[in-house]
A and B are shown apart, each in its own frame.
Chain A
Amino acid sequence: MLVLGPIGFAAPWVLTALIALPVLWLILRAMPPAPRRVLFPGVALLQGLTDRDPVAQRTPWWLLLLRMMAIAALVLGLAGPVWKPVAQADLDDALLVILDAGWAAAPDWSIRQERAESALKAANSKGKPAALLIADGRNDRAALSFDTGQALLGQVRGAQPVAWPTTYPADPEEVLANLPDGRLTTLWISDGLDHPGHDQWQSTLIERGELRVFAPSVRPVTLALSEADEPTLLLRNAPQDNVPEIVAIGPDPQGIERELARFRGDGPNVVEDGNQRAIPIAMPPELRNRVSRFEIDGQRHAGAVLLADDRVRRRKVGLVGDADNQGEGQQLLSPLFYLRRALAPGADISEGGLGDVLDAAPDVVIVADQVDMADAPQLSEWVEEGGILIRFAGPRMAAYEDLTAEPLLPVDLRQGGRDIGGALSWGDPRGLLPFAADGIFAGLEAPADVAIRAQLMAQPSPELSQRTIASLSDNTPLVTRQRLGQGQVVLFHVTANPDWSNLPLSGAFVKMLERLVAMARVSNDLTAIDQGAETFWTPISTLDGFGRTTSIDGLAPVAGEELDAGPGPDRPAGIYGASERRRALNAGGPVTTARWGNAQIEQDDADPGMFLRGYLLGLAAILLAFDALGSALVVRGGRIAVLAILLALMQPATETRAQDGVMPDPELVRAADEVALAYVLTGDPATDQTSQEGLAGLSFALRQRTSVEPGEPIGIDLDNDDLALLTFLYWPVTDDQPAPSPGAYLRLNHFLRSGGMILFDTNDGDVAGVGGPDMSQALRRLAAPLEIPPLAPVPEDHVLTRTFYLLGDFPGRWDGNPVWVEAPPAREDSADPVGFRQLNDGVTPVVIGANGWAEAWAIDDGGYARFPVGRGWEGERQREMAFRFGINLIMYVLTGNYKSDQVHVPELLDRLRIEEGGGP
């Protein structure tokens, strides 16, 4: 390799091609660009002409320079330049390669393999003997045999990191027994951590000759479980600026392994201590119990995987109570039923007598209404060792004579208990006080509907308030607690069934129990509960060095003491089981960085030099592309270049598309144009025809008497037609009318909100006799989804009574039924009027009546009334009033509260006069 300053060349002889550059310059310079070809009919006139002053057409200098640069870059690129190359050291002696194969070497294992390979190849090419020591602790005793490097390559390629720390053979001398004469050069491909025997090996090797160390510059990020009461993830050696996330993986309800949760390594509740971060496992218990492993996201080694065992997983709860061997129906009376239902999602439950339960090594024991228990001494011993005992009161406890002498109670109890809210007692059932903000139930919401009807009372004592963790609204204790040794005793002063209270039926009960159970310290020392005899742990699943689950073939059961020593050659990190218990052996933990005295250290991330070949070849390609563009520019004039630039510019131009305008139905357009009255098609031909004729009659009356000249009425199919163009809709309500679709209701509501009006006509004034919105079932069914404001019968002074005619009532074919409109605001001067009223300028969105107006208005083609109204002259008078109502209604729809504003005209005029006069 030729090194010129900071640049080295892998193939320096290629550089001789640069000599040719000046020649190329001359050649290129002499070659003019091709002339433009022009089609021109006037060539005949040019025949025989000679160029008066032939311009020397040469390649423009910039094009020439471009080409020269391109060729120079090409030549330089082919010469294999390297920026700041690393010189390879020479090898003179026998070579020993020590390959640390613990999990800490897994992240950059392939780099280590490459380094070992290159060293062995170098030794091979120099003809030096070489040996390979893979420090995974599996092959301790054998002395190394020195061989050609080539023979060892297979071993290097086949080596895999293991799921335990790097382990060196105990005695260096023994291993190096076959060392040939002369000095020994050692390449120690280290995982950067200190392991037992490290110093001894280092000193031995330095004695023998040169020691080169290939070590990573960063320590591996590891994950471990804290030994504290509450399991916490410990993340070590995480970089400050880019803290990785931790992924909790476990089976989902379908049993498929997936990511269950993700914790931020730099979240708000993370406690940072040096290079160690404590990350609380903030997961719901059901989820947490499913976690099978925690992983540091993006780290691929066994130290970044934390297998979850009993310490992270479910608490074991022992339930002690009267066996509920009653019939199925009476299970609901058993306290254990409620406890079981509350605990089952988050805990393993074992039931039985107290002795049986204690044998199962539970974390929590719940005793429901038991006194004078036979195994009380054992229980108290268990509690003092850190167990949590939760007791529930009950009729048995209340009736027990020796209650004051009963052990394992947090407070002294009064015999007998008390009834609250019974038939013969004063006062009502008591509710819960809000839980104390700093207590164990902090943050839980005390449900308002919980009522306690009976409880066991505590003897008043100074400690009582201290021991109370939940109390009733009269400050009597509901739950009390006392520490006993390392454990705790908790007493619910009520039963675990709904006899005394409905607390067991509430969600708060479940959450309270969850809190109490979660409080239980899971015994870290899993071996401690072994009953003396040596327990052997069988591997259930193990990891490889990369943190992947691997087979357990060839692994023998391991004694408990060995497991305590952490993972090792015969006990890779993994899950081990003994009977029901599961124990995780995790690789991650605190690590110490190895120190290398005067060894020569090569960093694995040392820059091997930047290879410039790709950049230079790329540059040459770009220059040549520009050259092509420039040549085209010269030959074809600016047009092509402009075209190229235009193309580039036009690329991002977005296509504008004409909006797809949907033209409304022409019939609707006509209706909007002619202010046609509209009616709802009910599907009943007779009703529809009546509506049509009724509105036609009303339209006729309007044309004759007013300036409103509606066109032919239009039938509206609510499901399909657009209502946006309409102002007034007549809706005859029939019993068998199908309800419109939800989309139609959306349109109807929009119609009402934007100023439309619907006249509901139940047309049953003759039958119902009362009418109104609360009488017609069909109307209620149809109008329920509509945004209808509160309704009231038309008040006497409603605008509807005076928009055109002065009206007293609103008869149709029937008379005497109230007509309902939007209720007026409670008071005229109320501070904030109802929003809906303001929305439509005070026009009621619906008018509801039963008077059968359409029938009163209906005229046939000849202009004669279609239906008889009343009798004789009075009937005709009633029809006339019906028309007047219709006219008033349409006027109301079209003019809004214009008429009611007229009331204020004198006042407005007064104000104008005052303003014009400049003062009163």
Chain B
Amino acid sequence: MTATSADLRARAEEASAALPGLILSAERLAAMVAPGTHGLRRAGTGEDFWQYRPAGTGDTARAIDWRRSARSDTQFVRDREAQSAQTVKLWVSTGKGMAYGGSQSRPTKAQRAQVLALAMAMVLLRGGEKVGLLGHPARQGRFQAGFLARSLASAPIADEDSDAPAPDDLRPNQRLIIISDFLSDCDWVEPLLTRAAGLGVSGVLVQVLDPDEESFPFQGAVAFRSLAGQQRHDSRDAAGLRDEYLMRLARRRDWLRSHAELAGWYFNHHGTDQAPAHLLGWLYQILGR
């Protein structure tokens, strides 16, 4: 967690550079409550030019665009594109287990999760969406990226092995991106998804894992400890546990995926040895769908 917010932001910028600004899918635009700078491909209130149209009755003289009108005999009104904004909330696990990095050459899971979250936030902010951390207000604009970077980088690591998002922070008509390792206690997932489905909140579960956690490269006598020291397992033949462990991990993922799909959510997992752009691309597709 030594990364300062500037570092974090730089890495996130790098990761998100390839993606154009994302405009969330207009799936639920009809039910949009919060107006925002979301281009709706139709005339309305907004800032960007949409079209010139002949002035009709009811258009005030102020509304007439005189420069355009001067080129012809009729009066024109300059319409702007109707805009509104989606709200996306981010939640990154700060459990102690996230501080794990199997090798010096790899970032810890927490670092990678923060990069992913911030990169996604930048893509969204570029698209004009409102982005915020779960439990904090969502805002638009470039400065929000800096705020998010600071918040993520300064988020304290919990003493517990895992932590969970508070379901009460969910608000209707949001999108939620949850990034965690989903290794320790995952009981919170099910209630959260249930409540989210009820509130019409859709989102993504992203599991960030270290390669060591995916391959279990241990052998011989090993005393395993969780990073917070809360859990332990002593083995005299760690290699013999590998198959069992991998099976359990796969089962955990299946469970997460099935629950997510039931709630209309999406699930994916990401290894810290992979480039963050892979997952960003996937998120881009999912959220823009």
Contact = CB atoms under 8 A, between A and B. Distances in A.
Give the secondary structure class of B's interface.
Answer: mixed
Interface residues of B, number: 37
B244 interface: yes
Chain A, interface size: which category? 20 to 34
B97 interface: yes
A39 B240 CA distance: 18
Contact of B226 (A33, A44, A54): A44
Interface stretch (A3-11, A45-53, A567-575, A824-832): A45-53
Contacts of B236: 35, 51, 54-55, 57
B220 interface: yes
B97 to A, nearest CB: 3
11 contacts: A38-B218, A38-B222, A41-B210, A42-B245, A43-B233, A44-B231, A46-B233, A49-B233, A54-B240, A55-B220, A55-B237
B27 interface: no
B138 interface: no
A41 B213 contact: yes
Contacts, number: 101
Interface string B144-187: 00000000000000000100000000000000000001011100
B235 interface: yes
B240 A53 contact: yes
A38 B229 CA distance: 11
B252 A45 contact: yes
A42 B224 CA distance: 9
A53 B225 contact: no
A51 B183 contact: no
A35 B240 contact: no
B73 interface: no
Count chain A CB atoms within 10 A of each CB in B216, B221, B241, B245 and give the residue with the most: B221
Nearest to A56: B236
Contacts of B244: 49, 52
B248 interface: yes
B221 A57 contact: yes
A36 interface: yes
A426 interface: no
Contact of A36 (B100, B161, B222, B231): B222
Interface in A497-521: none
A460 interface: no
A229 to B, nearest CB: 87
B223 interface: yes
Contacts of A422: none
A49 B224 contact: no
A57 B223 CA distance: 14
A399 to B, nearest CB: 111
Contact of B221 (A35, A49, A52): A35
A896 B203 CA distance: 84
Interface of A: 32-33, 35-47, 49, 51-55, 57
B241 A40 contact: no
A43 B245 contact: no
B41 to A, nearest CB: 46
Contact of B223 (A38, A44, A49): A38
B222 A47 contact: no
A57 B220 contact: yes
B55 interface: no
Contacts of A53: 237, 240
B183 A44 contact: yes
Contacts of A35: 220-223, 234-236
Contacts of B233: 43, 46-47, 49
Contacts of A39: 100, 224-227
Given A51-B240, A53-B237, A41 B227 contact: yes
Contacts of A57: 220-221, 236
Contacts of A55: 220-221, 236-237
Interface string B36-64: 00000000000000000000000000000
Interface in B67-83: none
A51 B237 contact: yes
Given A43-B232, A44-B183, A57-B236, 14 more contacts: A35-B234, A36-B220, A36-B223, A41-B98, A43-B233, A44-B184, A45-B245, A45-B248, A47-B231, A49-B245, A51-B235, A51-B240, A52-B240, A52-B241
Given A46-B224, A46-B245, A41 B183 contact: yes
B225 A38 contact: yes
